[in-house]
Amino acid sequence: MSSPLFIAIIEAMSDIPARLKSGPWMLDPTITYLNHGSFGARTVEVFEAQQRYKREFERSPIDFLDRRRSLINESRQIVAQFVGADPEGFGFVDNATTGVGCVIHSLHLDKGDEILTTNHVYNGVRQLLKHHCTSKSLLYRELDIPLPVFSSDEIIQHIHEGITDQTKLLVIDHVASASSIIFPVEEIAKICRKKGILILIDGAHVPGMLDLNIDELAPDWYVANLHKWVCAPIGTAFVWTSEKFRSITHPMTVSHWLHQGYTEEFDWQGTRDISPWLAAVDAIRVGEHIGWENIREYNHQLVTWMHEELVTAWGVEPLSPIDGSMLGSMATVLLPNGCPQTLEDCIEMRDEMYSNNALEVSIFEFQGKGMLRVSAQLYTKKQDISRLLEAIEQIDTPK
Ligand SMILES: Cc1ncc(COP(=O)(O)O)c(C=O)c1O
């Protein structure tokens, strides 16, 4: 059952979805879209802002990309401020995976040194880390953090105990993709500092979802996407580097500006379309009209309510506290009895829900069980959960 407080907050803010649902999003309104977490979604305003930058470039390419190169700098100042980061350590990249790649390829560890992460790591990043470790004769290890997780202390304990003398770098998710759990990165960064371990925080989901202040967190590196919860154009992400490592951290594509400054190197990664990076500012401004605090609070309260509705309806054990205290704007729930448990069957179920019910939701296998992840964004309505429950009920072939 949803608490009266959640309902009160959702009702009080109920004008927001009405205002934003009727056209301002690029999404097809006939689809019940519950997977904002994967690729985000754009408002029409941001989409059009990006088109304007593209047109400006095409009208006078040299002027736009060469003489007016400071456009990226202006964007960087605003976006860096939004995430509480020193702009001098802020470099735009295409996506979070590339951001992690920049850090990993810049680091020179010795044979036998260990890169440590957890089994909540995003699979693309897992493959990147494993591949790098294999090719450089480094050790790769994942700490097992089994679900359910009911407190940050449990995670801190695992990390504390898991670091060994061989560990040189910890790669830790800020909001984990599969479990939706917020990791206590502030405490984890402190542990790393104390033990002399480098820390790279993968905050792919964080900007726009949580209040972020990278300078206060003070990791060695912080990587994040803006195309998820800031709703910036696809191809907008960043890698932030602490002062100590700016001279050795390079973009994946090294070009003209090598060793001429961190931001200079990241600003020019060969000829490319910079419109997503510029339109990130428009996305931040769109959110500012509503208030980022309001957006975060609305999404969080709604997803907490959705989480409780699903757990109650399906009679499954929650994977994180039911009060939503370890969730941002996404929640992961065990699939009810009779639903798929393997990745292949989960994908089939996801695709069937899309084709039969026009409903997009993330369904996958994690830690040996079939799970479903819902996202809440301003366009999400409480009725979307009723549609999801109906769609699941229609599945008549238990696997
Ligand atoms: C925690 C985490 N890291 C990295 C990524 C990869 O993001 P991208 O595909 O934009 O590189 C994701 C994507 O969902 C993610 O959830």
Whether residue 10 is predicted with pLDDT greater than 90 in this model: the reply is: no
Ligand 1: residues within 6 Å at CB?
A: 95-97, 122, 124-125, 173, 177, 202, 204-205, 225, 237
- Average confidence (pLDDT) over 304-310: 98
Report the range of poorest mean pLDDT among 18-22, 53-57, 84-88, 130-134: 18-22
Rounded Cα–Cα distance for residues 133 and 141 (Å): 10
Give the mean pLDDT of 42-64: 97
Digit-coded pLDDT (tens) for 203-213: 999 999 999 99
Q: Note the pLDDT tens digit of each residue in 234-250.
A: 999 999 999 999 999 99
Q: What is the mean pLDDT of residues 181-195?
A: 98
Please give the pLDDT value at position 394. 87
Q: What is the pLDDT of residue 69?
A: 87
What are the structure tokens assigned to 6, written together? 């959640």
Of 118, 37, 119, the closest CA to residue 366 belongs to 119
Tell whether the torsion through CA atoms of 238, 251, 89 and 276 is positive or negative: negative
Whether the predicted pLDDT of 5 surpasses 90: no
Please name the residues in contact with 199: beta carbons below 8 A apart, sequence gap of 6 or more: 169, 170, 172, 188, 189, 192, 193, 219, 220, 221
Q: Which two tokens stand for residue 177?
A: 């993709």
Q: To test the ligand 1 pocket, which listed residue (202, 222, 230, 366) has its Cβ within 8 A of the most ligand atoms?
A: 202
Predicted structure pTM score? 0.95
With a pLDDT cut of 90, the percent of the chain lying above it is 92
Q: Which atom of ligand 1 is nearest to the CA of 228?
A: 10
Which residues does residue 93 pair with via DSSP β-bridges, in sequence order?
237
Which atom belonging to ligand 1 lies closest to the Cα atom of 96?
11
Q: Which residue out of 123, 223, 225, 236 has the highest number of ligand 1 atoms within 8 Å of its CB and is therefore the one to mutate?
A: 225
Banded pLDDT at 19 (limits 50, 70, 90): low
Output Rg (C-alpha) for the chain, integer angstroms.
Answer: 21
pLDDT reported for residue 1: 41
Q: Is the pLDDT assigned to residue 14 strictly greater than 90?
A: no
Average of per-residue pLDDT across 337-343: 95
Whose CA is closest to atom 10 on ligand 1? 95
pLDDT digits (tens, 9 = 90+) for 347-361: 999 999 999 999 999
Mean pLDDT of 66-76: 96
